């Protein structure tokens, strides 16, 4: 029987100070690639241990080797050029890539990291990829005549990576599409691209969606060919759950129960209430509590605290469900 309310996270964790310093040193040419890799591996192991200690069920590698979820892939794919800094919000900036030529994957991008992270734990580790539509939308397209052309080309390289992850033993493959609601009129393109990525995969497939007008793409987004949709909800006061009253939710639901863009963390009681709200729409076996989004913008302590609240809240609700089952 499938376990109830498996807990997980969306993908990224903050980089510890020593790794952040090392990345800065590397950018200035004062640290070798191999020295940086050693520190990235150390940080990855620390996050695997932290997730185990907190009691999360499905783990992530924490993306200690990535700067940004699109930039990392752009750095390693042919056809991309890394552009200058662009602000995303507040005082946060990222290097927005430029699609400057035909996109090609010269070699696997995440497989070694997945293998390494999985070797550190008996719990399942998710393979983490950025979806083709988001890669397109968060890049400047100078090369392809249409956005659809660029998106489908990107889908081919993401598909190669997904197949390699599966071959490497990934039981869960997450293909994030946080930009999927950027242009609701292009949802068909995102779905077409995701078919290229997930068709034929046996691993459980997941797509994370956050920070946008989810109502504008629902229920059509249920056609996205993945097993599980992973949605930010706490940031929105769970208002998007009301959409499921009219059009039932038909996938597994990974539900965000703590806001990741605030320093403060919700109480266990508040987070547990978020899980109970989700249980009105899917069964416990199909509901996975987690933080709203990746935690890389928080401090290490804040990120751990938010994960702890997710796990503690889940234990509260599991106990309630157990008590109900015994009655």
Partner 1 sequence: MAITTTVIGAYPKIGDELPLQALRRALHERDRGGIDDAALDAEFDTGTERAVREMDEAGVDVLNHGCIRWDDLFSSFVRAWRNVSREALERWFDNNTYFRVPVVSGALEVRAPATVREYEVARRTTKRRVKGALCGPFTFARLSEDRHYRDRSALALAVATALRAEVDALGAAGCDLVDIEEPALARWPEDLRSGAVRRVYDVLAQGSRVGIALQLSMFPADAAIEHVAQLPVAQIGVDVRSRPTRVLERISLERQTLVLGVVDARNTKLESPDEIARLVETAARRVDISRLWLAPTTSLEYLPHDIARAKLRVLAEGARTALAAGGAR
Task: Report the residue from 50, 182, 189, 279 that binds partner 1 according to the rule CB under 8 A.
Answer: 182
Any contact of residue 27 with partner 1 (CB under 8 A)?
A: no
> Among residues 72, 211, 238, 281, which is the contact residue for partner 1, using CB under 8 A?
211
Please, what's the b/e burial string for 248-278 (b: 16 or more CB within 10 A of its CB; e: otherwise)?
A: ebebbbbbbbbbbeeeebbebeebbbbbebb
Phi, psi (5° rounding) for residue 29? 75, 15
Residue 235 binds partner 1 (CB under 8 A): yes
Q: Taking the CA of residue 105 as centre, how many other CA atoms within 13 Å lie in the half-sphere pointing to its CB?
A: 19
Beta bridge mates, 92:
89
Minimum gap (Å) between residue 130 Cβ and partner 1: 12
Q: What is the CA radius of gyration of the chain?
A: 19
Contacts of 300 (CB under 8 A, 6+ apart): 13, 14, 16
User: Is residue 301 a contact point for partner 1 (CB under 8 A)?
Assistant: no
What binding mask, one character per residue, do residues 241-270 give for partner 1 by CB under 8 A, x or -? ------------------x-x---------
Which window, 11-19, 81-89, 242-250, 303-311, contacts partner 1 (CB under 8 A)?
81-89
Q: Which of 16, 55, 83, 169 binds partner 1 (CB under 8 A)?
A: 83
Instruction: For residue 86, state whether it binds partner 1 (rule: CB under 8 A).
Output: yes
The single residue among 3, 34, 91, 327 that binds partner 1, judged by CB under 8 A, is 91
State the alpha helices, DSSP H only, in 122-259: 132-137, 147-167, 187-198, 243-246
Residues 6 or more apart from 35 whose CB is under 8 A from it? Answer: 22, 26
Using CB under 8 A as the binding rule, whether residue 220 contacts partner 1 is answered as no
Q: Which residues bind partner 1 (CB under 8 A)?
A: 83-91, 93, 96, 98, 137-138, 140-142, 179, 181-183, 211-213, 235-237, 259, 261
């Amino acid at each position: 029987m499938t376990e109830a309310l498996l807990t997980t996270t969306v993908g990224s964790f903050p980089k510890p100070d020593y790794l952040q310093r090392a990345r800065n040193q590397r950018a200035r040419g004062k640290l070798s690639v191999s020295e940086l890799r050693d520190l990235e591996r150390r940080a990855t192991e620390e996050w695997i241990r932290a997730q185990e200690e907190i009691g999360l069920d499905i783990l992530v590698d924490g993306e200690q080797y990535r700067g940004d979820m699109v930039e990392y892939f752009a750095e390693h794919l042919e056809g991309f050029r890394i552009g200058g800094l662009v602000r995303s919000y507040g005082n946060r900036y990222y290097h927005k890539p430029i699609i400057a030529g035909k996109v090609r994957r010269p070699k696997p991008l995440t497989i070694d990291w997945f293998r390494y992270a999985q070797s550190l734990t008996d719990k399942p580790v998710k393979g983490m990829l950025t979806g083709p539509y988001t890669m397109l939308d968060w890049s400047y397209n100078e090369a392809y005549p249409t956005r659809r052309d660029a998106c489908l080309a990107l889908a081919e390289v993401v598909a190669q990576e997904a197949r390699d992850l599966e071959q490497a033993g990934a039981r869960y493959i997450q293909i994030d599409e946080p930009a999927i609601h950027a242009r609701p009129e292009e949802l068909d393109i995102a779905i077409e691209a995701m078919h290229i990525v997930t068709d034929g995969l046996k691993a459980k497939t997941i797509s994370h969606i956050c920070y946008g007008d989810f109502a504008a793409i629902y229920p059509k987004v249920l056609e996205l060919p993945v097993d599980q949709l992973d949605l930010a909800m706490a940031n929105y006061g769970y208002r998007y759950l009301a959409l499921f009253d009219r059009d039932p939710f038909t996938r597994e639901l990974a539900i965000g129960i703590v806001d990741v863009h605030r320093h403060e963390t919700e109480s266990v009681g508040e987070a547990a209430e978020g899980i109970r709200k989700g249980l009105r729409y899917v069964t416990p076996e199909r509901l996975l509590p987690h933080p709203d989004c990746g935690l890389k913008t928080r401090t290490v302590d804040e990120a751990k605290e938010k994960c702890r609240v997710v796990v503690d809240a889940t234990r509260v609700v599991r106990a309630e469900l157990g008590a109900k089952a015994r009655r």
